[in-house]
Structure 1
Amino acid sequence: MLFEAGVSHLPTGSLNAPTDVADTTVPGILEVSPLTGLRNASSFLGQTTRNSPKRVEFYRGSVSYVTGSHNLKVGFTFQQQGTFVQTAHGGGWQRFFTFRGAPYRATFYMQQDQTDKANSLGIYAQEQWTLDRLTVNAGLRWDYFDTYYPTQERPTNIWVTAPFTVEGQTIATWKDFQPRIGLAYDLRGDGRTALKFSVNRYGKRNSTELSRAINPGGSNRQMNRSWFDGATSHAFGRNLPSCIGPVACVAGDGIVQGDPTNPLPNGEIVSPNTTPGFGVPVVTTFFDPEWSFGWGKRYSNWEVTGSIQQELFPGVSLDVGYFRRIWVNHNVVDNRALGTADFDVATVTVPTDSRLPDGGGGAISFYDLNPGSVRLPDDVTTSANNFGGESQTWDGIDVTLDARVENVLLQGGLSTGRASNDSCGLLSQVPESAPTGSATGDADTATIEHCSRTQNWLTQLKLMGSYTLPYDIQLAATLQNQPGPERAALAQFTAADTNLGRPLVLYPSAVQLNILEPGTFYGERFNQLDFRVTKIFNLGGTARFRAMFDLFNVLNANAVTIEDPTFGPTWLAPTAIMPGRLAKFAFQIDF
């Protein structure tokens, strides 16, 4: 019988403060193409003060009991976590964004003062039982999780002049049974052929992120408004005003003329406020108690595996396995203040281009909010099964070879798999659940046509081998062959490109859409061959000295690893390639 126990305490944290040369009296400017901090907006010269201490305490204990045919173990794990975030923003609590040098957005902030806590408990029992040629590995784990935030006060700034108290509450309590069972059967009783099968359930390891998601101490802290600094021409061009009365505008002065607390366009603020909860002393984000409390509600996945392992020759074995993962308990954020009638389907025409599949063309669509439906949000996170559900699976096949013959070692294999996701029913009933991206950066807005996606089968080959020569000289090499990067074509569309005949509400500047079907187009595969020579010197007793020479990327391959996803003249231009050939000498002493 074996008893084990342990405890750990991990206090961490970070404190970021403006540097001495940062001017905290003027708004920062961030250029997004290419991403550059022009004024008080970089990591080193920012104007934001952020204090975020964190603590994690972990306890564990177990007892094991082993007999001839049984190996029993029971135990527990318990973890406590606490996070605190306090953020203050200089520059008048605002920041400006430019695209290729032209202003396009002003973002307004309020202070964050947020404390969140979480507890996780797991109690488990597992048994390995040998019955003649059958070995059974069975286990059951009971998981308990709760997360909450204590009572705290929301501070004020120039945009929010009235403080309010956030009443503490427990926002989620989950209880789950996680079964796990594995079977291994010696088919002929000679130890050369084994059939294996397993079914396991794994729950997501949550921390304080659930509490952070709805804690009013950190919610609704940011408001984005379209702002072109009074310019009559700008990066997104067509049919977008630069100044709206009655506030007078001064073009090019770097100051926002207008009142950001006014939800309507005014002055140089040319878009309505699409985040009316900004700074409002009202809780706008909730969890559905039917989802956040109870049994079997945690986001989890089932994994089913089956394989056969065969000894081909003494020291040489082949393993072929199939794996399937099924994710369950998806959730969705439903804005109860909106219904499907509050959204319009906007359709755009895909550009024609010989570089696109079938030359481009066709149409894709996305959801945009009706102008008359901008209102205070009432967001509730609930089960996706309430709105048509979501399915997510992954299927994979592995073929693995393991050979150990005299002075030769060879290991490796072929692995292929693909992922599938279908959220069409969910998207049709909760249009606001569609991921949204900005007109800049790599994020893209989800298109209706791509709500069901099945990835190509992605196959990779990996081999590792070594050979020991006389005089304790070892030769080793590895070979990798993997798919290239997934390709996207992120194209920008303005309101004039759609069928709506009105400005876009959710995307006042422009919307960015992937006009390729996700998961179906990839760059060229890449190969990498690495080589090592090792000489071992015995120093007497157990001491050894190793001299090693490594050569990475022997063939000096230059396959592309990252491509430009922005559709335009530079689409698919390489932005990163494999590191070139590298030689390295290393030494190691073991004693």
Structure 2
Amino acid sequence: MTRVRPSTIIAGLGVVIIGLAASLAAGQSAQSASLVGRVADESGAAMPGVTVTLKSPALQVSQLSAVTGAEGDYRVLELPPGVYTVTFELTGFQTSVRTDVHLTTGSAGRVDAMMKIGALSETVQVTGLSPVVDTVNVAGQTTLVQEQLRSIPMGGTMQEMLPLAAGLSMQTKPDVGDSNLASRSAIITYGVVLQATLDIEGINTVTAHDADTAVYLNSFALEEAQFKTSGNNAEIAFPGVAQVAVMKSGSNAFHGSARGSYENPKWQGNNVTAELAAQGITNPNPIVDPGFYDYNFDLGGRIVRDRLWFYGGTSQQSVKQGQIGFVAAPNADGCWFASCGGTTPGTTAQSLPQFNWKVNYQVRPTTKLIASQFSAVKHHSTMGGAGQLRPLPSTTFQRQPDQTWKGEMQSAPRNNLLLDVIYGYGGYHTHYIAQPATQVSQYGFPDGTDVKGNPSSIELSNNLVYGPNESVQDRPQNRYELKATVTYIPSEPHLGGTHQFKIGTTDDWENAGTRVLEDKASGDYQLRFSRGAPSQIVVYNFPFATSTNTLLGQAVYVTDTYTLRRVTVNAGVRWERYRNFYPEQTKEAGQFSAIFPARTYPRQDVLTWVDTVPRVGAAWDLTGNGKTVAKASFGIFGDTMGDLYSNAFNPNGQATQTYSWTGPCLVTQYRNDTFNDTSCDVTPQFLATLPSLTPLSATGGINSVINPDLKQNTTSEYTTRMERELIPNVAVSAGYVYHRILNNYNTNLQLLRPYDTWIPAAGTFADGLTGSPVTIYTYPASEVGAAFNVLKAANAPTDRPDTYHSIEVAATKRYSRKWTGAASFWTTKNHRWITGNSSGGNGNTPQSPNDDRFAVDDTWTWEARASGTVNFPMDISLSSSYRAQSGEREQRTQQFSAASSVLRQGSVTLRMGEYGEYTAPTVQIVAIKATKRFGLGQGRFFELNFQVFNALNASGITSINRLTGPQFGLATGIVSARVARFGGGITF
């Protein structure tokens, strides 16, 4: 783990102190709730001076109090999520009490009161009227409380909570009973992949420029999880979903649980239809021995009553399963595709042990200290793209420890002033190795896959790879974060209304490397074949064991929550600075040191972005009773280039040179030419000639030039929303969200081969499906040579933005009358420039006319969600969930290759039709859960539960091979088959 220098921390603290001294601001932290309201007499006149008292088991003090202001308004901030009793008292009036007030993470609950003349001893009590409409915050948000996390049938990881939130989905197939355990996937927010955040106890764990996080955690230790999808204020840096995970806490009463569950391979069905069986598919994700299991234990309580609380827990999740089209060994004819029949299916083993603890220390009634830690170790036996085109021997074995820890101080030196400071860490270190003998010896690799004579290889006509993984990496990823906020509530109205001011600062120190620690025994190269004929060789600059990159991020934001009668305006501005560089480092010599020599590289600043962005939103309580609220917001969001952006320019990062290679072949015992099922390694004599040859292309930092003028990509977001409480505990909403993304960029453009110089290739090329002639562009002979292999980053033109229009409707029912539920539907109209092409260009940043072919996605997508729980007599409950999404939109592609004299880039992949020309059927998943509780006395319970995932045994296709060729049209992703799970546990 990379250490942070004390001088760096001191400098960061200095920035915070200066920022805090500059001004004051308002609002609670993302991990807490708040309560607002207005107190009036029977005539509706405001009542100042009313004492508002809150009590809850979630409070570490006996109670909290506030006094209403001149307009009868009150606000109580930094409340831990929980169930509260709110008491309103004023001499000469009856005491008014509201019980069972549920407050969730990030929400601003509203509880108004009407005071009647009478004695304090007279009490009017109202039960079960929890706020379901937020009259203050404009963000679209979903909060899952502990009861929902336990009752809804779903997988146990954080990623499986996301689909329960309106507007969110994952860029992967839906989970069925933890079939996606310990996997990561980009998060889609209203149809678009955006930079997200995941605050675990206040520390953001989304490192680099990612739309997800590789810090894995499950739901067992969580008190609540919140997902804010749109309308975020200036506290939030990025346009993607802001996720908040709040760990359970101790309390004055001891509490804990021991739970476990199990899926047996015999309890899984088979959802392969006759059509899928004809493709050679037997079972998409078969669970194999020992099956799936999880268990968790936790305990919380007090060390000193009302002063020192503790919580701790441990858990384990594990599964072993197959994967559609994933092969461990070929058939007798040497075919590696499952559709050939007779192949040996591959399996994947995944496990995720996790440990966590938290301590709360109430130093004095106005000051609290909190410390916490999550840690986990992910094991995955087949990383690196396991699937139809990458069989087991070409994958990697992964071990990844990760952790998140923090120290926090909350202090309220005055009733209207609050200080919150957090310092912590979120990161991981991923270790990959080529498949060892323990995993592949039974498939013809007694010494593992990375051995001499077994070269990494690929067949270009179908993209099937062979041999050890071409780049076995070691990836440390570290983020240290310091946050500080000051909240201030003026005691008197200004501009006719009340204010909450808040100023906050965030300082991040990120460090990451994508390293290869040693030369490969099989050789630091990949051989490329075209229909069985030697075509190209790609050589790598391994090793580069000291590669590292750094990102320093600073932000200061100011917000004001201004309430004037029934209108609340949330306004703010955020200043950000991201500075990316790589420090001095030394590259070691490797196999191809004549091409990639050992040397020391000096420190280099790569890119700095500074931006100031506004956010504004308004909530209008139309009726004044907190039941009907109209909301709107506008915001501009900047982005981070991520700590690994400089890796593309770091000369001590991965680099390649691609050369033409037509043989001869060195025959070994390994059949790496999969098209012909023969052996063909490169000869030592040919490798010796490489320094004198001219490469076709090159990648990596040694071939890239820095563009200091690259603009920051920005997202403009507009939202409107209407929320209505229909009846107590039931709310409905409808909204519109618009995203416009400017300045997308591409780091792989060939600087010295500009668009205008590309010419039609002289060869004859045909569409492999229709036979129609195809024009392919190549660069001219005058641009051949290593001197032209120069890459540079560039922004997309301003007339090529990505835009997304989304419409959403939702309904929620908070628990009452024995049941709770939620449902949502949203649809998005996309206008997206398609990325990815082998010439290096994208639809919005074309390298050549090849990139202009069918370059826009103008499709519609939609998703629907529903979940609910009903409690029956005898402590029996039944829960269910439903998920549906539009079928996958597909686009046909084709790979072309030719002699370097004809196609000078060697090979190219072209889009052959409109995006969405092919659409898979709708995917629908139903899950159910039945639970029976047995009381053991003194607040202890024993529970048995039974779950069925994919209860209708749907066989929704989630991805299809659209590469023109023999495998075209074959399914590469199907939801897992129906599976049953039994579980049980004890709680107290």
TM-score of the superposition, structure 2-length normalised? 0.48
Q: CA separation in 2, counterparts of 1:253 and 1:129? A: 71
Does 2:811 correspond to 1:401? yes
Does 2:548 correspond to 1:140? no
Contact in 1 for aligned 2:704/2:790 (Cα 8 Å): yes
Deviation at 1:204, TM superposition (A): 1.9
Residue 420 of structure 1 aligns with which residue?
831
Selected match of 1:339 from 754, 776, 790: 754
Residue 298 of structure 1 aligns with which residue?
712
Contact in 2 for aligned 1:49/1:89 (Cα 8 Å): no
Q: CA separation in 1, counterparts of 2:531 and 2:768? A: 22
Does 2:711 correspond to 1:288? no
- 3-state SS of the aligned residue for 1:261? helix
Residue 518 of structure 2 aligns with which residue?
88
Deviation at 1:80, TM superposition (A): 1.0
Selected match of 1:75 from 481, 504, 508: 504
Q: CA separation in 2, counterparts of 1:327 and 1:151? A: 35
Residue 972 of structure 2 aligns with which residue?
575
Deviation at 1:235, TM superposition (A): 8.9
Residue 530 of structure 1 aligns with which residue?
927
**Residues 389/218 of structure 1: CA separation in 2 closer, same or farther (3 Å cut):** farther
- 3-state SS of the aligned residue for 1:555? coil
Selected match of 1:109 from 530, 540, 546: 540
Q: CA separation in 2, counterparts of 1:474 and 1:400? A: 24
Selected match of 2:648 from 213, 225, 241: 213
Residue 56 of structure 1 aligns with which residue?
479
**Residues 12/422 of structure 1: CA separation in 2 closer, same or farther (3 Å cut):** closer
Contact in 1 for aligned 2:724/2:731 (Cα 8 Å): yes
Structure-to-structure mapping, 1:66-215, within 5 angstroms: 66=489, 69-84=498-513, 85-90=515-520, 91-97=522-528, 103-111=534-542, 112=544, 113-161=546-594, 162-215=597-650
Does 2:738 correspond to 1:324? yes
**Residues 539/225 of structure 1: CA separation in 2 closer, same or farther (3 Å cut):** farther
Contact in 1 for aligned 2:890/2:960 (Cα 8 Å): yes
**Residues 420/163 of structure 1: CA separation in 2 closer, same or farther (3 Å cut):** same
Contact in 1 for aligned 2:519/2:591 (Cα 8 Å): no
Does 2:884 correspond to 1:473? no
Tell me the amino acid that sits aligned with residue 552 of structure 1.
F
- 3-state SS of the aligned residue for 1:372? helix
- Give a deviation string over 1:177-207, Cα, whole Å, max 9, x none: 1322111111233433211101122222343
- 3-state SS of the aligned residue for 2:518? strand
Identity of aligned residues (%): 22
Residue 245 of structure 1 aligns with which residue?
none
Selected match of 2:854 from 450, 454, 479: 450
Residue 683 of structure 2 aligns with which residue?
255
Deviation at 1:473, TM superposition (A): 1.8
Residue 29 of structure 1 aligns with which residue?
456
Tell me the amino acid that sits aligned with residue 466 of structure 1.
T
Q: CA separation in 1, counterparts of 2:579 and 2:662? A: 43
Residue 13 of structure 1 aligns with which residue?
429
**Residues 551/86 of structure 1: CA separation in 2 closer, same or farther (3 Å cut):** closer
Tell me the amino acid that sits aligned with residue 745 of structure 2.
N
Residue 268 of structure 1 aligns with which residue?
none
User: Which structure 2 segments of 5+ residues have no match?
Assistant: 1-416, 438-446, 492-497, 667-672
Tell me the amino acid that sits aligned with residue 301 of structure 1.
T
- 3-state SS of the aligned residue for 2:919? coil
Tell me the amino acid that sits aligned with residue 807 of structure 2.
I
User: Which structure 1 segments of 5+ residues have no match?
Assistant: 238-250, 265-272, 292-296, 353-359, 437-444
- Give a deviation string over 1:412-450, Cα, whole Å, max 9, x none: 1211003213589xx9xxx863489xxxxxxxx964231
- 3-state SS of the aligned residue for 1:484? coil
Tell me the amino acid that sits aligned with residue 275 of structure 1.
S
Tell me the amino acid that sits aligned with residue 117 of structure 1.
T
Q: CA separation in 2, counterparts of 1:77 and 1:567? A: 49
Q: CA separation in 1, counterparts of 2:841 and 2:864? A: 37
Q: CA separation in 1, counterparts of 2:632 and 2:624? A: 17
Deviation at 1:311, TM superposition (A): 3.4
Tell me the amino acid that sits aligned with residue 60 of structure 1.
K
Deviation at 1:322, TM superposition (A): 0.6
Deviation at 1:78, TM superposition (A): 1.1
- 3-state SS of the aligned residue for 2:651? coil
Higher relative contact order (CA 8 A, sep 6+): 2
- Give a deviation string over 1:131-189, Cα, whole Å, max 9, x none: 11101122222111111122334443453345444232212122111322111111233
- 3-state SS of the aligned residue for 1:88? coil
Tell me the amino acid that sits aligned with residue 371 of structure 1.
A
Contact in 2 for aligned 1:236/1:494 (Cα 8 Å): no
Residue 433 of structure 1 aligns with which residue?
841
- 3-state SS of the aligned residue for 1:290? coil
Contact in 1 for aligned 2:530/2:897 (Cα 8 Å): no
Tell me the amino acid that sits aligned with residue 552 of structure 2.
N
Deviation at 1:523, TM superposition (A): 0.3
Deviation at 1:64, TM superposition (A): 2.1
Contact in 1 for aligned 2:657/2:696 (Cα 8 Å): no
- 3-state SS of the aligned residue for 1:571? coil
**Residues 229/511 of structure 1: CA separation in 2 closer, same or farther (3 Å cut):** farther
Q: CA separation in 2, counterparts of 1:479 and 1:15? A: 37
Deviation at 1:343, TM superposition (A): 0.7
Contact in 1 for aligned 2:540/2:654 (Cα 8 Å): no
- 3-state SS of the aligned residue for 1:556? coil
- Give a deviation string over 1:273-297, Cα, whole Å, max 9, x none: 223689xxx9542223333xxxxx4
Structure-to-structure mapping, 1:463-502, within 5 angstroms: 463-495=866-898
Q: CA separation in 2, counterparts of 1:122 and 1:186? A: 32
**Residues 348/29 of structure 1: CA separation in 2 closer, same or farther (3 Å cut):** closer
**Residues 127/289 of structure 1: CA separation in 2 closer, same or farther (3 Å cut):** same
- Give a deviation string over 1:236-278, Cα, whole Å, max 9, x none: 99xxxxxxxxxxxxx95752653222335xxxxxxxx223689
Q: CA separation in 2, counterparts of 1:169 and 1:97? A: 34
Contact in 2 for aligned 1:137/1:183 (Cα 8 Å): yes
Contact in 2 for aligned 1:409/1:466 (Cα 8 Å): yes
Q: CA separation in 1, counterparts of 2:950 and 2:980? A: 9
Q: CA separation in 1, counterparts of 2:768 and 2:926? A: 40
- 3-state SS of the aligned residue for 1:159? coil
Structure-to-structure mapping, 1:377-392, within 5 angstroms: 377-385=789-797, 390-392=800-802
Residue 4 of structure 1 aligns with which residue?
420
Residue 903 of structure 2 aligns with which residue?
504
**Residues 389/373 of structure 1: CA separation in 2 closer, same or farther (3 Å cut):** farther
Deviation at 1:566, TM superposition (A): 2.7
Deviation at 1:306, TM superposition (A): 0.6
CA RMSD of aligned residues (A): 3.6
Deviation at 1:396, TM superposition (A): 0.7
Deviation at 1:543, TM superposition (A): 3.1
Tell me the amino acid that sits aligned with residue 570 of structure 2.
N
- Give a deviation string over 1:376-422, Cα, whole Å, max 9, x none: 2343324434xx65311111110112245623333112110032135
- 3-state SS of the aligned residue for 1:89? coil
Contact in 1 for aligned 2:538/2:656 (Cα 8 Å): no
Residue 780 of structure 2 aligns with which residue?
370
Tell me the amino acid that sits aligned with residue 381 of structure 1.
A
